[in-house]
Amino acid sequence: MPRAVVTGGSGFLGSHLCEYLLNRGYEVVAVDNLLTGRRSNISSLEGRDGFTFLQHDVIQGIPVEGKVDCVLHFASPASPPEYLNLPFETLDVGSIGTRHALELAHQNKARFLMASTSEIYGDPLVHPQTEGYWGNVNTLGPRSVYDEAKRFSEALTMAYHRYHGLDTKIARIFNTMGPRMKPSDGRVVSNFLVQAIEGNPLTIYGDGTQTRSFCFVEDEVRGLVALMESDHIGAMNIGNPNEFTILELAEKVRDVCGSDAGIVFESLPEDDPVRRRPDITLAKSVLGWSPEINLTEALERTCKWYREELAQAEAK
């Protein structure tokens, strides 16, 4: 049974990754300091054979004993409001934390998968974004705490490959949605769904003409594990290339939730990327992977989870 260590294992993506790996026959050790992750995300996994949770901050090291076959480094605040609120934790986990995760892989001669991001492309001047594009990041802007931490993580990951021969993969993850993204996360899909369900106006930042391309979490995790199990070295975009304006997303959310909530326009955050869409030619050709779930189905399934989550919170 291969043994995987997932840092950030009780976060939104990390918890789905742990579940998928367990179902695939892996033994899984989830490591998380619960700064932005939630224990409730893994409550259905705790008690399952082969699953262990270790509450620990990867900035302090990763004290996992025994053989390790793969390390998947997903620990980091990921929502813009959260990483802007936790700038030093974000920089540390993307530098010191990444170093610890890479060392663990190196000592075990394990595979390494780095959770990178479309944010490394910044406000992209090339559209759609291919892996060969170097990006357009404002190093002095507020988002740089996340963007540069992830860019540094990519550099460190490639250095471990070049100097230590480590088997390293870098997933550039584009906007992802699904159950377990907490209602207070602050990203656009969770904000809109909570607002629509509660009958509050949807908050559009800027004029809503900016674009994003949303992937359902099940598609995303299937792509991530395919990349981890492949022979590919280096970066690969894993995301859904169907691109929507934020105004279109708001309309779709209202349709799916059957909500007549209004819309309010608020100011656009500094350095908010104007458009974003992955070119997934590489993932298609190397992994034979592409997303299967469209925006409507993704929103329907996510909306169902938020209704249950909000009802439970109210009942408490």
Q: Which is nearer to ligand UDP, 116 or 191 (CB)?
A: 191
Contacts 24+ apart (CB under 8 A), 137-142: 138/271, 141/270, 141/271, 142/84, 142/269, 142/270, 142/271
- Report if residue 272 touches ligand UDP, rule: CB under 6 A: yes
Active-site residue, 146 included: yes
CB of 209 to ligand UDP, least distance (A): 10
Q: Which residues contact 291 (CB under 8 A, 6 or more apart)?
A: 215, 216, 219, 220, 223, 239, 240
Listed ranges 164-172, 256-264, 265-273, 289-297: which one lies at the site for ligand UDP (CB under 6 A): 265-273
Q: How far apart are CA 253 and CA 258, in angstroms?
A: 8
Binding flag, residue 135, ligand UDP (CB under 6 A): no
Contact map string, positions 179 to 208, toward ligand UDP, x by CB under 6 A: --------xx--x-----------xxx---
CB of 304 to ligand UDP, least distance (A): 20
- Pinpoint the alpha helices (H) of 86-143: 87-92, 98-108
Q: Does 45 bind ligand UDP (CB under 6 A)?
A: no
Residue 88 CB coordination number (10 Å): 9
Q: Could you tell me the smallest distance in angstroms from the CB atom of residue 80 to ligand UDP?
A: 5
Residue 178 as a binder of ligand UDP (CB under 6 A): the answer is no
Active-site choice (146, 160, 163, 205): 146
Least gap, CB of 234 to ligand UDP (angstroms): 23
Token output for 126: 């090339």
Distance CA 12, CA 185 (A): 10
Length of the chain: 316
Kindly tell me which residue out of 73, 111, 151, 212 binds ligand UDP, with binding defined by CB under 6 A. 212
Query: Which parts of this chain interact with ligand UDP (CB under 6 A)?
Result: 80, 175, 187-188, 191, 203-205, 210, 212, 246, 268-269, 272
Active site residues: 146
